[in-house]
Amino acid sequence: MSATHEDNGWVDRLRDPTLQPQALEQLRDLLLRGLRRAFLSKASDDAFVEDVTQDALVRILDRLDQFEGRSRFSTWAMSVAVRLATSELRRKRTRDISLDGITDGNALRIEFADESTEQPSASAERNSLLSKLQELIDERLTDRQRWAIQALLNGVPIEEIARRTDSNPNAVYKLVHDARTRLKQGFEQAGYTADDLVGLSQ
Amino acid sequence: MPLTRQQIAMLMQLVAETTSDELDCSGCLDHLAEFAETHLAGQPLSDALEEVRTHLKNCHCCEHEFQSFLEALKGMSDDSQ
Ligand SMILES: [Zn+2]
């Protein structure tokens, strides 16, 4: 199927009551193939893929107006389906990760132990970078920021952090982005470059 | 629990790559279809898509979703030939 042929009239067909059933059937096939390839190996079964496909078709029909033609229709439709599948899998996976252990007092603590195996000079530079990091974390970040970053570093996705804090993913992303900006500015003021941060922290 | 060495490295990477005009996750995912096609075709990225690329570099969640999306697109085209 070529790109141009494939795009022929998806939106029109999905809007036309007489053509819609067949178009939906074709779209369903496409989404199922894609989702099976992407998700069947990742601890999900075919029932999961079929459910997500069904939900995706509903959402795609709902959002036909939002398709702006910046990509092929099938690519856009697949992006909607993958978004649903990813959210659903994250919800399943992170349901059991406890965030209870992360409290204001113990988020983002750095320990300066077990550096003895390194060369003394490298270790001293690293320690001074890490002391700066701890200082910036303590002085420039809010409790919410410390908590959110700790949760992210523990592998909790932004969506899940949002769900558990009655927030939304964008707000959490902004909260974290603001924290990163504060830390970066703090390091820049202390004379560190971006390369220093990555190089010395490895 | 103190941060592990790996977590410290992740945090520093995130801080180092922070830029002021980043897209948020929704903005990134809204452009993912267009970004994927451009990426797969090896075409140059527009400024808007360059922001998507930056976001993907900084956001594990979106990058992970992007990788699944690329797989799904492969699955879709493999079988339709
Ligand atoms: Zn993101």
Q: Are residues A129 and A160 in the same domain?
A: yes
| The total number of structural domains that make up chain A | 2
Q: Which amino acid is located at B19 in the chain?
A: T
pTM: 0.69
Q: Could you tell me what percent of chain A has a pLDDT over 70?
A: 84
ipTM: 0.80
The pLDDT, as a whole number, for residue A30 is 96
The CATH number linked to A71 is 1.10.1740
Residue B74, pLDDT above cutoff 80: yes
Distance from CA of A18 to the nearest CA of B (A): 24
Picking from A95, A112, A137, the residue at the C-terminal end of a domain is A95
* CA A108/CA B28 separation, integer angstroms: 27
Q: Which two tokens stand for residue A167?
A: 């927030």
Same domain, A109 and A181: yes
Which contacts (CB < 8 Å, 24+ apart) does range B50-57 have?
Answer: B51/B21, B51/B22, B51/B23, B51/B27, B52/B23, B52/B28, B54/B17, B54/B19, B54/B22, B54/B23, B55/B22, B55/B23, B55/B24, B55/B25, B55/B27, B55/B28, B56/B28, B57/B17
User: What domain range includes position A110?
Assistant: 100-201
More confident residue, B19 or B52: B52
CA distance A128 to chain B (A): 14
A89 and A130 assigned to the same domain: no
Facing A37 at nearest CB: one of B10, B11, B75: B75
Shared domain for A156 and A110, answered yes or no, is yes
* Residues A197 and A104 occupy one common structural domain: yes
| Shared-domain flag, residues A90 and A107 | no
A89 and A107 share one domain: no
